[in-house]
Amino acid sequence: MGRIRERMEADLELKGFARSTRKDYLLRARHFVAYYGRSPEQLGETEVREFLLHLVQERGVRATTHRMYVAALKFLFTVTLRRPEAVAAIPWPKIPRTLPDILSGEEVERLMSVVRSLKYRALLMTAYGAGLRISEACTLEVGDIDSKRMIIHVREGKRGKDRYVMLSPKLLDTLRLYWRQSRPKGRYLFPGVFPTAPITPSAVQKVLKKAVAAARLTKRVTFHSLRHGFATHLLEAGEDIRTIQKLLGHSSIQTTARYTNVSRRHIARTRSPLDMLGTPAARAFG
């Protein structure tokens, strides 16, 4: 893509997109250009439609992947090429609303116990104990852990928003043990191969995949499962949903409310209107 790639990368940065999102958008745009072997300036709505149909019909990409391609191409044509008419009629794919598998408390403990590396175990405990996304956990800095106020400063989360989350005393003990053992150099709490750079999400995902197999978990487990577990277990423990919303960094309460659909205890505590018939509470029904 040459100069257009450079322009798109600059546009993404100016718009404030996260580094991982910028990388993903550029990759999807490159796939599109490589498919035709021509400059995107020579392509338009017809080519975009044909490419997306190729992805869905021939490659069988999932709806979430399809949506990412649509987002990347809309950005490329609308912002970088300034040709919004080329993608204005391209529809957004409908994403199926599936419920995630939620690990039980015992399963979380089992998963943590099989991770031999203290560094990776501390990172996974941080993700579950504070409800962090993988990018947030990997880029935590040493100064983000405030043991005096018992909070963690999460910097530049989704959409570039900062937030504070609780620092678990149990997690703090593990982080102190990890610090004494490893003494990480540089600013990052969990550095990668080079001390000046954070650990990569791919490295963490590889360790997690091995841990899931070692723990013999049959549920579908991803790094985000730890965040799902954090939210669901707080809800089941009686925490207010708006507090959970703030801890997760959700802009909309509707995003957080989906955890009420996967919390068995929350569902079990909900009183059926059948049980209210014939009681004063039934007056609300008219």
* Catalytic residue IDs: 133, 158, 224, 227, 250, 259
Q: List Cα–Cα distances, 208 to 52, 204, 205, in angstroms.
A: 32, 6, 5
Please count the CA atoms within 13 angstroms of the CA of 145 that sit on its side-chain side: 24
DSSP letter assigned to residue 158: G
Q: Left if phi > 0, otherwise alpha if psi is -120 to 50, otherwise beta: which for 156?
A: left
User: Pick from 250, 207, 259, 203: which is nearest to 228 by CA?
Assistant: 259
* Sequence-separated (6 or more) residues with CB below 8 Å from residue 205: 134, 222, 223
User: Pick from 202, 218, 11: which is nearest to 101 by CA?
Assistant: 218
Can you tell me whether residue 191 is helix, strand or coil?
strand
| Rounded-to-integer distance, Cα 87 and Cα 72, Å | 11
> What DSSP string describes 65-130?
HHHHHHHHHHHIIIIIS--GGGTTTPPPPPPP-PPPP---HHHHHHHHHT---HHHHHHHHHHHHH
| Rounded-to-integer distance, Cα 137 and Cα 130, Å | 9
Q: Are 71 and 39 in contact (CB under 8 A)?
A: no
Strands 145-146 and 151-154, by their bridges, are antiparallel
**Other CB atoms closer than 10 Å to residue 189's CB: what's the count?**
26
